């Protein structure tokens, strides 16, 4: 599977959930969509972790200096 940008992965996940909620798929189709969804979920999670790391690395203060800030705390 080619990694999509975060927003596209999220949109595809929403599409997959809508299709799976219809309950009109056979088991094989549902499994394929579930596997695809897991791939998109992992991709989106990785993208969020990367962005979080970048935000933690640099936060510009009002005086123009930079400092490391953990925004999760």
Task: For the chain, give every domain's residue range.
Answer: 6-67
Those residues whose C-beta lies under 8 Å from the C-beta of residue 68, and which sit 6 or more positions away, are 56, 57, 58, 59
What pLDDT score does 51 carry? 86
Q: State the chain's mean pLDDT as an integer.
A: 84
The pTM score is: 0.70
CA angle, residues 16, 19, 21, in degrees to nearest 5: 105
Query: Taking residues 6-35, what's their average pLDDT?
Result: 95
Please determine, for residue 68, whether its predicted confidence score (pLDDT) is greater than 70.
Answer: no
Check: CB of residue 10 under 8 Å from CB of residue 44.
yes
For the residues of 14-63, what is the DSSP string, one character each?
A: HHHHHHHHT--S-HHHHHHHHHHHHHHHHHHHHHHHHHHHHHHH-EE-TT
What pLDDT score does 3 carry? 77
Query: Taking residues 39-58, what's their average pLDDT?
Result: 85
């Amino acid at each position: 599977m080619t990694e999509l940008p975060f927003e596209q992965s999220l949109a595809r996940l929403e599409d997959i959930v809508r299709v799976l909620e219809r309950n009109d798929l056979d088991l094989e189709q549902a499994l394929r969509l579930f596997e695809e969804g897991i791939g998109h979920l992992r991709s989106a999670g990785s993208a969020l972790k990367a962005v979080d790391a970048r935000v933690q690395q640099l936060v510009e203060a009002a005086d123009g200096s930079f400092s490391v800030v953990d925004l999760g705390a």
